[in-house]
Amino acid sequence: MSRLLALLNPASLILFSSLTLLCSVAAASANNFNNGEKAAIRQVIKNYIKENPEILRDALIGLAAHEEKVKIQAGIKKAQLDDGDPIMGNKNGSIVIYEFTDYNCGYCKRMFAPIQKMLANNDDIRMVIKEFPILSQSSLTAAQAGIAAQKQGKFPKFHKEMMTYRGQVSDASIMAAANKSGLNIDQLQQDMDSLATAAIIKRTRAGAAALDLNGTPAFIIGENVIPGAVSIDELQSAIDRERLKQN
């Protein structure tokens, strides 16, 4: 009840409180009223609703908005579970950006260079890459390799090789990127096939599902979920707003 009251505007709150009071009185004192008085109370309640239908409308709209906000907050909390996720930028940065990405996503690749410039211009950003393979089997293999590269501390180099590769990724292009990044291939393959890596990808998928994200890229900055490819100016504005909130 308290959640519903918080969603009403002042006028609706007054009317809703009166309605609730009347209902409470009627329920508590039903035996103290004769049939005529009970009918009068019912008529008052009916008139309230009939003359002010916006009370119910506003309450339902507000409740739906509140429930959507709660859903998004729960999804963001899932995305913030990032142990083992690849990291770029300042690993201790106070501004955290989560990017859901797929190495076969053309829009993700298009945004790579501007994002690198953004990281260079904002030294307080910790960018968490949520490996979200949705486009093909090779996307899954590449995501596993990205997480495994993080374990060797060479993810940024691997990520750059993958994001600047043109065309559909393949096992051959993934291994070529790994070699160029100086990764230990035997260790990489072992980590790619590990239960820990599978758990990280499963966790990312759960976070995306909670936020109704079904495409890449997508970003989370503070409490803002930004689906799809957007301009760097838009991302920077979200960063600036989050920085102001923290200061």
**Residue indicated by tokens 């002042």:** 10
Other beta carbons within 10 angstroms of residue 45's beta carbon come to 15
Q: Where are the beta strands (DSSP E) in 117-198?
A: 125-131
Residue 207, both tokens: 């976070």
What is the rounded CA–CA span in Å between residue 193 and residue 155? 17
Domains of the chain: 2-72 (no CATH), 87-246 (3.40.30.10)
Residues contacting residue 200 through CB under 8 Å, at least 6 positions apart: 84, 85, 131, 147
Strand partners, 101: 131
More confident call, 67 vs 226: 226
86 CB-side CA count, 13 A:
28
Residue 92 pLDDT exceeds 60? yes
The overall average pLDDT reported for the chain is 87
What are 156-192's pLDDT values in tens digits? 999 999 999 999 999 999 999 999 999 999 999 999 9
pLDDT, greater one: 181 or 4: 181
Among the listed residues 129, 124, 96, 100, the one whose alpha carbon sits nearest the alpha carbon of residue 221? 96
Q: What is the pLDDT of residues 188-227, one digit of tens each?
A: 999 999 999 999 999 999 999 999 999 999 999 999 999 9
pLDDT band at 100 (very low <50, low <70, confident <90, very high): very high
Compute the distance between CA of residue 135 and CA of residue 140 in angstroms, rounded to an integer.
8
Residue 31 and residue 26: Cα distance in Å, rounded?
A: 9
What radius of gyration do the chain's Cα atoms show?
26
DSSP string, 219-234: EEETTEEEES---HHH
Nearest Cα neighbor of 221 from 98, 88, 89, 69 is 98
DSSP assignment of 170-182 equals -HHHHHHHHHHTT
Per the listing, tokens 């009071």 go with 21
Beta strands 224-227 and 87-89, pairing class: unpaired
Q: DSSP assignment, residue 8?
A: S
Ranges of H-type helices in 6-34: 10-28
- The first and second tokens of residue 104, run together, are 């076969």
H or E element in which residue 60 lies:
helix 54-79
Q: What is the pLDDT of residue 54?
A: 80
Instruction: Identify the weakest region by mean pLDDT among 5-9, 26-30, 122-126, 179-183.
Output: 5-9
